[in-house]
Amino acid sequence: MAGEFDLIARYFTRPPRAGATAGDGASRALAGVALGIGDDCALLQPTAGMQLAVSTDMLVEGRHFLSTVPPDRLGHKALAVNLSDLAACGAEPLAFTLALALPRGDEAFLAPFARGLFALADAYHIELAGGDTTAGPLNICITVFGQVPAGQALLRSGARPGDELWVSGSALGDARLALEAFRGRAQLPGDGFETVRRAMELPQPRVALGLALRGVASSAIDLSDGLLGDLGHVLKRSGVGAVVDVDALPRSAHLAAQAGPLQHECLLAGGDDYELLFTAPAAAHAAVRAAGKAAGVALSRCGRIEAAPGLRVVDAAGRAVATPWHAFDHFA
Amino acid sequence: MAGEFDLIARYFTRPPRAGATAGDGASRALAGVALGIGDDCALLQPTAGMQLAVSTDMLVEGRHFLSTVPPDRLGHKALAVNLSDLAACGAEPLAFTLALALPRGDEAFLAPFARGLFALADAYHIELAGGDTTAGPLNICITVFGQVPAGQALLRSGARPGDELWVSGSALGDARLALEAFRGRAQLPGDGFETVRRAMELPQPRVALGLALRGVASSAIDLSDGLLGDLGHVLKRSGVGAVVDVDALPRSAHLAAQAGPLQHECLLAGGDDYELLFTAPAAAHAAVRAAGKAAGVALSRCGRIEAAPGLRVVDAAGRAVATPWHAFDHFA
């Protein structure tokens, strides 16, 4: 079995990208990684005037992914859920660190894991700046770095009464539907299972949309714990309430074919969607549509912010919809 | 049992420090955390012209700490080993994130863990900027952020032939001696066990020394995997060799009372020391002494850098000393 240093070298060290300065921490004109893997610290150089956006997520088997996930998809997802946090802040991705605990120095896992991870990193032109590898129960902890002009980050605290509520994507709840299919609670004919499984295992972070929404959206959050729970964070931080039209939430044909209560559960309390939920003044409606078009992401207006506190879910006819679920809680 | 959000709120959210701006990501004159816990990302604001130094360490039970460690000491150590990486780069600590997997939402663990963690954070005036909490086998992943003027970071690659080799502290190897005492391989009379146990469980990161060595040291690394292994990283990155005088390595009376082979093993291959090992030109000898005095840290000159590759260990009389150990490997 290969030793720690060998494993790091083999799977996680890559030649510097063109344009990156090697070695000794000299400043560089471009933002990014001035010094990468191989020293006590990595050195990051944000562009002058930018704030550094930082987010960290820890993924544990059985909590954040199933043991059935192919390692290349797990590598993708571990980075995608972190990039989704940058997207929700409107930050431009710069770099990430990876800390990895593995039961064994297992090449059959590491090779495809690294392949999936770096494929997504390359798509966003970001570098692995540093990390740590150890033996232990499987645990993946990624910290991601982005930059955003000072004062322009999209926050949870900016929703105002009268704002429209928007959600990205066209298949909200499919990740949860996949989980229910694994659990045997949902049946999916034909290629339905493989399609929703991709939603769960290969989420696409909405980075381009987050950037396009700077100066347009009044607040934003990424959907990781379920729409109602995540919207609750926005309402609490903003000191407002909201009404959500469940019939306006975008769903796939696979989800639309399920029974009504399961549809509602997947849409409203699903988790693992990694879509952006955001608010914008009604006057910015056209600007929101333009941002979605520029980013190539479908957007649905699904509610509005109100001054009265609380979260009310209705159907297209305005009737109250029952919401007997709790936000996903990793200790529940 | 408390839910995830309750746990985070109770133990890891604290009121903003005086001088920190609340909320909306406005720029601030001081470097630090512009936006902390509670949004998708934290926002960091390094001082203009500074590079951001980043390091991440993952701690797993049985690998990086024993199950017998008191939780307050574990909280201290988890942050200390990360601050030690900043020290080795000569970076000024700014902030950190914490990702924590816990088998249970266990207040008997969390309360003292947070107390130990924040006591050290407060000593360095740094904030917990963000994090993640989940259920899972105990795993602590901290990412730490510091800043250093562009081009002034202490790196592993700067050692040059003729440089003197230095190590900080007065009790190298005591952490390993404590481990051997737990294993029953070493006997420690009187208060000896409690003293060396503190070395293992409460390491003091050499942050002030790292800052004082900017512009003085030619290379630096922190001792986490054992002196020979860590020095090997410096030699490899710098393309040089070294001779180490084992008799010049600083040791406690507890270690000096042990048999010679165990002394050598603890000093040269111990691990968990979190002292700084650094090089400086002979002409900077007085400046090194002044840096140690300014930082209040004992320094020992323990060897020299040579052009010939390889690592030679000798005693005070110049005789070769056997080194039959390997660098600590988390997968060995």
ipTM: 0.85
A149-178: average pLDDT: 96
Residues of chain B neighbouring A20 (CB-CB closer than 8 A)? none
Taking every pair of C-alpha atoms in chain B, what is the biggest distance, in angstroms? 64
List Cβ neighbours of B100 (8 Å cut-off, separation of 6 or more): A58, B131, B132, B133, B134, B139, B140, B141
- Whether residue B31 is predicted with pLDDT greater than 80 in this model: the reply is no
Q: Among residues B153, B173, B193, which one ends one of the domains?
A: B153
Residue A200 has pLDDT above 90, yes or no: yes
CB contact at 8 A, A253 and A196: no
Query: Is A141 close to B55, i.e. CB distance below 8 A?
Result: no
CB A325 within 8 A of CB A180: no
Asked if residues B249 and B167 have their Cβ atoms less than 8 Å apart, the reply is yes
Residue B322 CB burial class (10 angstroms; 0-12, 13-18, ≥19): exposed
Q: What is the pLDDT of residue B328?
A: 47
Residue A185's CATH number:
3.90.650.10
pLDDT, tens only, B293-311:
999 999 999 999 999 999 9
- Please indicate, yes or no, whether residues A130 and A222 belong to a single structural domain of this protein: no
pLDDT tens, position by position, A69-84: 999 999 999 999 999 9
Strands (E), A40-136: 42-45, 50-60, 92-102, 127-135
pLDDT value of position B206: 98
Residue A323 CA neighbour count, 13 Å, CB half: 24
Lowest mean pLDDT among A315-319, B38-42, B206-210, B253-257: B38-42
> What is the nearest CA distance from A125 to chain B, expressed in angstroms?
19
Give me the pLDDT at residue B284, please: 98
| Residues of chain A neighbouring B135 (CB-CB closer than 8 A) | 60, 63, 330-331
What is the Cα–Cα distance from A275 to A226, expressed in whole angstroms? 10
Are B107 and B187 within one domain? no
Asked if residue A145 lies in contact with residue A95, where contact means CB atoms within 8 angstroms, the answer is yes
User: Would the pLDDT of A328 be above 70?
Assistant: no
Looking at B153, B186, B218, the residue that finishes a domain is B153
Do A134 and A175 share a domain, yes or no? no
CB contact under 8 A, A150 and B63: no
| Tally of domains within chain B | 2
Residue B277 belongs to some domain of the structure: yes
For B202, the domain range is 156-314
Residues whose CB falls within 8 Å of the CB of residue B278, separated by 6 or more in sequence, listed in order:
B154, B165, B166, B167, B213, B217, B218, B219, B220, B221
Q: What confidence tens digit (pLDDT) does each residue in B78-127 have?
A: 999 999 999 999 999 999 999 999 887 788 899 999 999 999 999 999 99
Judge whether B323 lies within some domain.
Answer: no
Whether the CB of A275 is below 8 Å from some CB of chain B: the reply is no
Q: Which of A166, A165, A169, A164 is nearest to A250 (CA)?
A: A169
- Does any domain span residue B286? yes
Tell me, yes or no, whether A186 and A49 share the same domain. Answer: no
Q: Closest by alpha carbon to A106, among A228, A219, A11, A235?
A: A11
Residue A63 pLDDT: 83
Residues A168 and A306 in one domain: yes
Task: List CB contacts (< 8 A) between A38 and chain B.
Answer: 156, 237
Option in A25, A130, A136 nearest B56 (CB)? A130
CATH of the domain at A100: 3.30.1330.10
Judge if B166 and B304 occupy the same domain. yes
| Chain B interface includes A24 (CB < 8 A) | yes
pLDDT at A321: 94
Residue B18, domain member (yes or no): no
Residue A9 lies in a domain: no
B17 within some domain: no
Tokens of B51: 């590079």
DSSP secondary-structure letter at B68?
Answer: T
Does the pLDDT value for residue A302 go beyond 70?
Answer: yes
Q: Is pLDDT at A28 greater than 50 in this prediction?
A: no
Mean pLDDT of A139-154: 94
Identify whether residues B217 and B165 lie together within a single domain. Answer: yes
Q: What rounded mean pLDDT belongs to chain A?
A: 89
Does residue A104 lie within any of the structural domains? yes
User: Which one of B30, B40, B100 makes the best mutation probe of the A interface by having the most chain A beta carbons within 10 Å?
Assistant: B40
Mean pLDDT to the nearest integer, A176-200: 93
Average pLDDT over residues A115-120: 96
State whether B179 and B306 are in the same domain: yes
Flag whether A19 is in a domain. no
* More confident of the two residues A295 and B3: A295
At B39 the pLDDT is 80
pLDDT on residue A132: 87
CA distance B241 to B83: 28
- Taking the C-alpha atoms of residue A10 and residue A6, their distance in angstroms, rounded to an integer, is 6
Q: Which two tokens stand for residue B220?
A: 């630096």
Q: Which residues 156-185 of B are in CB contact (within 8 Å) with A?
A: 156-158
Q: How far is CA A95 from CA A45, A219, A291, B133, B163, in A?
A: 10, 24, 25, 22, 34
Q: Is B215 on the interface with A (CB under 8 A)?
A: no
Last residue of a domain, one of B153, B186, B220: B153
Q: Tell me: do A253 and A299 sit in the same domain.
A: yes
CA–CA min distance A97, chain B (Å) = 7
Averaged over A105-131, what is the pLDDT?
91
B232 and B267 together in one domain: yes
Asked which of A313-327, B27-41, B243-257 is least confident by mean pLDDT, the reply is B27-41
| A97 shares its domain with A238 | no
Whether B145 and B176 map to the same domain: the answer is no
CA B253 to chain centre: 23
The pTM of the full predicted model, rounded to 2 decimals, is: 0.88
Mean pLDDT of A104-114: 87
